[in-house]
Structure 1
Amino acid sequence: MPFILRFSTITRGAITFTGNSLGISRASRFSPACTPGTADAIGSFIINNPTVMCGTVPSSPATGGGTTNMYMVNFSTNSLVLPPGSTVVYAELVWGGTYLINTPGGEDLSARLNDPVRFSTPTGMFNIQPETFFNYAVNIQGDLGYVRSANVTALVAGGGAGTYGAGKIVGTLVPDPNTTSFAGWSLGVVYVNPALPFRSMNLYVGNVPIQAISPPVNEMIGNFQTPSTGPITGRLLVSAQEGDAAITGDFVRFGPTLSSLTTIPQPAGFTNNFFQSLIYDDNGNINSTATFGDRNPIPGQPGSNIIEGNRQGWDISNVSISNSLVNGQTSAAIQFGTNGDGYTVNLLAIQIDNIPPTLLLEKTSFPDTVTVGEEIVYTIVVSNDGDSPLVNTVLTDPLPAGVTFQSVQTTQGSASFAAGTVTVDIGTIPVGQSVTVNITVLATAAGLISNTASAQANQTGIISSTAVNTVNPLPPPILEIEKLDFPPIVAVNSELVYIIFVSNIGGSTATNVVMNDPLPAGTTFVSAESDQGTISFDGTTITNDIGSLAPGETVVIFIVVIPTVTGTVLNTATTFSDETTPQSSTTETLVIEEPILELMISKFAGPDPATVGEELIYTIVVSNETTELLTGVEVVDVLPPSLVFVSAETTQGTVTEVAGTVTALIGDLDPGQSEIITITVIPTAPGIVTNTATATSNQTAPVSSTIDTTVNALPPAFLTIEKLAEPNLVTLGNEVIFQVTVCNMGETAATNVVAVDTLPAGVEVTGIQVSEGTFTQVGQTITASFGVIAPGTCAMITIEAITAVTGTLTNTAVVTADNVEDSETATASITVLQPLAISKQASSNPVLVGSLLQYTISVANLGELPLTNVIVRDVIPPTVEFVSVQSEGDTCSVSGQTVTCLLGTLEGQQEQTIIITVIPLLEGVVTNTATAQADNTPPVTATITTLVVRPLECISVSKLFDWVVTRSDFIVEESIPENCRAFVEQAIAGGRQVLVSCNAVPATGECSITVVKRLPLPIIGSQAAIVLTTCSAEVTITLTDSGTGETCTFTLLVKNNEKVSLCLPLPLDESNITSQIFDIHCAARITESLTIELQLDWCLELIVKFTIPMMVEATFCQPRALIPIPEACSISVPMQCPTLFPFV
């Protein structure tokens, strides 16, 4: 059977597969069950309980896995991983295994193939009934396997990410020469997520056997579109059964067409052994956290199984097909084949990144599976996901064969139906808006119905979305007839009553239903009645024309006759309809001369088998099978000791129970009359229960009826406990909530369930709530008595508390029950933070000797309540010199090397900052610790370590070097003297320019130098200094009238007091330094104030008279060394000194 498309969409999201094997590899093909080894067949089933072991198969405590030899209890789990913000839109559960081993001593489980399987989600355990897709066998070298599938979208959408599991899945373990035994399950999930790319996503189920004796299986995949240009990203997800690590030859190929296929490597890179009994995650890693995830085959080409047994017979892979796709592709071919290892593909998905569309279309249907004659509702959502309105949007939906149109509704625009097509003129869809269309149809034919809707706007091409539904055929009508005679023994010439029941037990209406009853010879017709149709007697035959009989309906016919001769009277009634063949029922009545007296009793039990602790109902029927009245009828039932009496009822008379004996006083029974006694009991022990009821009357001897009932042991309850603490990070004095949840994951109610939670010292309980039952508190111990917890339900206790101590507090809760052997525990921890916090930072690290270093201390109250008497102390190390301290409110003082700040009260969430300034005196490591304390709070500390360094020595010279400091931003403003003012004013009034020229002789400049030491400046060197230079120079200025050529000349004395930072190694001082005027630049700016700006450049010559290391302050200085003097005070670092200026 080809692959069946189960879901298709183009939206933002992805597809993921999870699942697991249900079997562990056996020792050899002929070894008995429960012997582990390297054979390519399973010899034991996986169970989710590491304490259960099958033979010598090791369990897997790390993954919670044990083993068993019974498929009815097999179970394995794996994780479903979804990114945050994901919503599940479709989920398919697929399972399979071997069910018939066609060898002597083989196994045949064909009767169990359609039994429901167990499926667990994060919200509970469920029974899943398979859908009818693959009701045929897969022949594996003479043995038979199977695949079953079911839509579990609602359960997975409700469960979200978490642990999922499946079990009670049919498989075989008997020795098998073909090594084909396997069992497992896969879960395919399609989810949407707004953070993911637009993708075309198709999910298929299949039952596609691939064998070496058969050609490869090809499948064409459509309903996607790759980008027209640019890179293409696509992934192929495959689930398969019966793949073997040690057998090669199995391959998967993919391409645009069957003639352009590319072999796809499996996640480990092998192309000729794709299926190796390995479960891979979406990142290409072998899963290790699922049940028995720590026991896997060793991948290879060929691979190998491990001696202690590994997960066997089930594969899940997610591989890239990007290199096999081309731009603009809308369909593809996939090929599964082998020349060695056989396998069966059961689940397939294609995920291809698409160009983000503007027009989005999503189509869903409800319900997924219907029966002929039932309605299907298609819901189509047309959305604008672009950045501009969609204009003239039109939706069309040609309805497929097999459905009849009923109605259409739209939230925008107009809708119509003509010639089998629904058309909706939507019009304009604004940005970010959607339109919903609902189409209702009636299913008229069985099979798979695929319905595709398409939409288009002026700015877009046509996009489509498909919904697939399964329509089951309407079951045919089935007529059933039953005929009774009362009494079965009758005296001649007495009335005999025939009661005939005609029922339709099929799935559809039977039409023109007729019942015929030819009366036998020796009987005289008296009367006939029917509760439907017309009834007549033509002298020999009674005919009831019933008409139509709907499914589940029954017609009752009463016929009264008088037998006129003795002997056996046979009477047969027959029914038929237009759709059915005749069905008959015959009675055999004994007609006697004299009446006989006979009291009859019969007994029934249900359910059978019964279960310990659950109700068992005995139904006793006592009847008068004679033609005479029976009086004083009494029924006595002595209950066995293993049954506990609950109640008893009778349709006539009274019934009592004393010390386990039930007595029903029926009284009189007319001929043919029957009465029913119902006794309800509860079995208390497993085994065979024998129970006898005895009936007596005044006219007859006692008669008895005995029934044996099998009582099964009570399935154990299975309790789980979970404990949460919220928040798990809390500040002292704040509230924390502990929540304990107890769930019954078993199949039987847990009785007398008690949860005990002993809270750790340091938390004070403020409130307790339980979802059911009662609770008590003694000290720190809270006991919740939940009583009975039904299967699949949970009970909860919520404890509110206030934290009273700091640190990590661990809390453990324990749950017990009368019918659960072991207790279960759960633990949660909280960390209680100190509300007083302190942190410390340094302004620079490393820091230079002699420079300023600032410590910034932050003290905060992280809690909600005030902290009083907050004090901060900082003992300054002796290798640094204290300069200053700053705080809010001047609360700090200094005593020796200790800084103390009295901060007083810190309100909740308040923070204060303290800044301490120091000067490091010696190179090395300086460690400084600040301590904060407050009332009722332990002290907290903050420590910082700072590296104090000296600079690297860069240049060492033994001859003279010139070091130049260049400043060109010095400006002197002087007014024009009075003797030249008239000259300038006349020139300006005449619209002429005044030209300025300057003259200064550097040699005439005079400077005096003073060195001021130990300044708090960032430096490099051993001695910080400021050089204060006072210079003066005579400048001659000439003003020239450009119109007349006249001049005016005057002389100014310019003086300058200038400071510059230098690093002067000892023994340099002012006697080692000379300075002079270097140049003067004049620029005329003739304004109304008649001022002239003079720019004075000067240079400082440092003359080194003996060999010493020479450093300069990089912020202002640079070596001259043939570098031109800059025009302004910019920095140009010489290439020969990179270590001198690390910060430039």
Structure 2
Amino acid sequence: QVWMNVTNTGSVTSDFTVMIADINPTSTAGWAQTVINSFPGAPAQGRLAFRYFVTNGGPNGANSDYIGIDSLEILGGMPTLSLGMVSVADMCAAIPANNNGVIEPGETVDFTLPIDAAGGDFTNVVGTLTSATAGVTIVTGMGAYGNIANGGSASANYQIRLDETVACSSNIDLTLSVTSTEGNFSFPVTRPVGQSATFTYNGLPLAITDNTPAGVTSTADVAGVPSAITNVQVQINTTHTWVGDLIFTLQSPNGTTVTLLDQPGVPASTFGCNNNDVNVLFADGQPDPEAICTGATGDAWPVTNAGPVTPLSAFNGEMANGQWTLTVSDNAAGDTGTLMDWELIITPAAVGVCNVCPSNADLTLTKTAAAPSPLSVGDTITYTLMAANAGPGDATGVVVTDPLPANVTYVSNTCGATFAAGTLTWNIGGLLNGAGASCDVVVTVNAVGGITNTATVTGNEADPTPANNAGTSTLAGAFLADVVLLKSNNATGGLAPGDAFSFFINVTNNGPTDATNVVVTDVLSNKVSYVANTCGATVTGATLTWTIPTLANGAEANCEIQVIYVGLGDVINLVSSTANEPDPIPANNTDIESVATANAVPVPALNGFTLAALAALMAGLGLWMRRRFVKG
């Protein structure tokens, strides 16, 4: 609000009425007022413009009026938002030491941007962070501040990422745009990339106490010099009358002291040089300044480059980092001055803080296998290795290592990998963000047992998800199970119809691996009638089926089959077995058991011819029956 007291000092003041029209230049609701309320857009400081409406209520004539502003009072300003103290946290996953508060190329940077309210309350405050700087990506660009009361503050967090190509010593320019129900605001946020190498000089400017041989000191804090000193130069700027009074010495952090200047003048036995001011670069190899002087009091000392009294090479080989001390002493009465500034020039030069943070490279590895099923010793397996880089940065020094299991034999690969001491090594080199590479590895099975193979990928860059750096293939492998089947019976003497007896089946696994899904099939003779079994076998018609889910290497299983003899003739019974695994000796997967009987078939008396013919017939029939039996 603005309060104005308008004065009317014309010749006939009663003739005139003055009213404020507007300010900057928002029109008011009416003319008859002297207070302008709440004019948006007016500057908080600077020039204000006013317009008036003047009415002449008197007669026509020469009457005049003089309008002036007697007083102006700002009663209150518009509510406003302002940007508070910005906080910055930099993050470099690849180089944790880079998390030093300095924004550097390749880093992810968190900004905390506070907003302060003044002059009124603000509601629904929302911030949006943007940047037009090349190489800057806004990761989190929206911030919700909510409602901010008059005099209050609220903060929101934002995140940006700098590309590795952003130049050190450049600036990143950000803009925080803030909206609210009460109005919109915009704030620039600019931050440097990297930190320059600077030495800190303390105690300047420094008054040089008159006639004090102990002198006064200024120190310099040096950091960032990467290795031992090879050269030192010193620039000194001093205002002082009668330079012949002055002595300058320099001490290193290691305690070595060099005299730079010692009361120059001609001759030394006099009061020294009567010239003024020392503005000189001291360096080894420059002229000796001790005898240089114009001789005229008040002249500027005509030395700009000078060799020190003691060589500065005395510092060579020392480490520069630490505190250096420059001492200036006045050694005669009557003249004073000031050390304005001084500078160390050290070789090698100090290195500023600006380390490029290499991007993370999320390397992944998958491994698949193409192989027959089931596997047998001698079969071929083709492994496929697939390495990929999910970024966000490029990967360098990418290597895949694959130690092969003992029960396979290496044959070849398609990627130029090397194989030694049981391990395949594939040097990929570089993988760009989003790129991949594949390799086929061929092996053969040389022994039974499960085959598990794990390969691993590594790279030079930090990997944000190392859990996906390995790929594993698991195969059941080659198995052999020598299943042996034996069948016996407990029949005694010759069998007669109605006699009961049992068959006994023994199944043994001679290995070398377990046998699974072992199925024993026993087709019973039509000369017996099935009664029961002890192994839970099923019987369908004359076929008994006994299933053993797993028979471990070296284990055996037994089954008793109870039957009754019902027919004439010997009982001949065949039993067989199968399993999922290959059997190295299939001949022992079957067994034939025969039981003799007491039954005799009557044969009539025959003459010699008939007996011979019958013998021939029976011989042929027996041969046919034997062949049928073997075939069956």
Q: Normalising by the residue count of structure 2, what TM-score does the alignment of the two structures yield?
A: 0.28
Work out which of the two has the higher radius of gyration on C-alpha atoms and give 1 or 2.
2
Q: Normalising by the residue count of structure 1, what TM-score does the alignment of the two structures yield?
A: 0.17
